[in-house]
Structure 1
């Protein structure tokens, strides 16, 4: 079972997602470009790409704009977020097949690449392990898997420092303090964030090789590994 409670069913969250994400995540759109570059290193010009946690559609749109020959299978557990993705994709939606569900609801592939951006931190550790393993089984040999999500130290005191820095960055980005208080509570009590060494280990245990960190900004980390 790879499903878990979905925090993106709230219609208010869906409506503000596209604008708010760029405020909440440092270098948000740069992550999309970096992921595209990492995929392009190994993927063919007609690559079929699996986008896990694709609600909103912004990363898929960035990939589609940069690579007119790529096609996509976009998977997300929230129908409302997939509807938002279809709106955001506009004419690029014709190259995207939408799948409402989790990784087990994705096609078998084989895919030339896969991404999971800003989603894995919502999954408990065991669900995350199974998700990584199922992505690995759907990839062609050598295909890249690009992930980026919250990942920071969990030792005494370290966790609180990073959460405070994240909240301070939200305030500096112009987010209402009332909303930043909600974010602090969610990260502290609801989001199962893991330390970076554990996130890397999950990818390796799933069978990914040459796992390399390509992004780090406050509470967010990104890695690429190969099937």
Structure 2
């Protein structure tokens, strides 16, 4: 499908509003995230591969904060387990509507895919079914910090023995020099992908009050408190990483 280029922050804005996943963002989201998140295509495709190692019969595979369903599509391509169902959840009605369109298009291109259910809901209020795989792909960082432990605890309770949570997040670093270096490298990544200084600055202003990253140590401690027994980092590119958390 043809991608619409991200030009949301290309013109000067008198007052930069907080970032929201509205229709304007939905139209450019594939281009935006590919040009903003180092390693994103690798994470998404391999998330499907990893899920294939943990998926179990008679269980749900959750894509929480599914946006346009890239992870759901990867799950359906790679998981070949009978009687599984992908449940994709997002609280943005614009995202959910377009996600359903993309997954319907996937159905027309491939045969014998896992069934998928797309739900518009707040993942912090979701009643989880027994699950063998839960994906939180750059979603937890948008949840208020005081709600993150409760969400992870409920995910842990829903996970079947032998299942896994796959958590991808932007990281912050306690060491000031490390934080500064990786921030500068991330900005260089955005420049290399065609974003102007104005776009970079305005996007940073829009998202700084909305997205609150944690350090790897904070993730480990919170996951342990939620009841996970093992946390395995499997990917990092600059200040973006993905972890496998085992029950």
Taking structure 1 as the reference length, the TM-score comes to 0.87
Runs of 4+ in 1 over 6 A off after TM superposition: none
Q: Tell me, what secondary structure is at the counterpart of 2:88?
A: strand
- For residues 138-162 of structure 1, the C-alpha deviation after alignment (integer angstroms, 9 at most, x for no partner) is 2112310001010120444543433
Q: How does 1:140-219 map to 2 (within 5 A)?
A: 140-186=160-206, 188-219=208-239
Does 2:104 match 1:84?
Answer: no
Instruction: Count residues in correspondence.
Output: 222
Contact 1:154 1:194 in 2 (8 A): no
Shift of 1:191: 2.2
Does 2:23 match 1:11?
Answer: yes
- For residues 87-114 of structure 1, the C-alpha deviation after alignment (integer angstroms, 9 at most, x for no partner) is 2212446821122122244343101110
| Paired position in structure 1 for 2:11 | none
Larger Rg: 2
Contact 2:51 2:75 in 1 (8 A): no
| Paired position in structure 1 for 2:138 | 118
| Paired position in structure 2 for 1:26 | 38
| Paired position in structure 1 for 2:5 | none
The CA RMSD over aligned residues, in Å, is 2.3
Contact 1:121 1:151 in 2 (8 A): no
**Distance across 2 between alignment mates of 1:125 and 1:154:** 17
Taking structure 2 as the reference length, the TM-score comes to 0.81
**Distance across 2 between alignment mates of 1:87 and 1:8:** 21
- For residues 169-225 of structure 1, the C-alpha deviation after alignment (integer angstroms, 9 at most, x for no partner) is 111112243221123334555421111110121111111122110111111111101
Q: How does 1:52-91 map to 2 (within 5 A)?
A: 52-67=64-79, 69=81, 70-91=84-105
Q: Tell me, what secondary structure is at the counterpart of 1:152?
A: coil
| Paired position in structure 2 for 1:3 | none
- For residues 98-139 of structure 1, the C-alpha deviation after alignment (integer angstroms, 9 at most, x for no partner) is 221222443431011100001111123222112111211221
After the TM superposition, which of the residue ranges 40-49 and 137-146 deviates more from structure 2? 40-49
**Distance across 1 between alignment mates of 2:101 and 2:206:** 28
| Paired position in structure 1 for 2:13 | none
| Structure 2, gaps ≥5 residues long | 1-17, 108-113
After the TM superposition, which of the residue ranges 59-68 and 145-154 deviates more from structure 2? 59-68
Taking a change above 3 Å as real, the CA distance of residues 124 and 104 of structure 1, as seen in their structure-2 partners, is closer
Does 2:56 match 1:36?
Answer: no
| Paired position in structure 2 for 1:102 | 122
Taking a change above 3 Å as real, the CA distance of residues 188 and 181 of structure 1, as seen in their structure-2 partners, is same
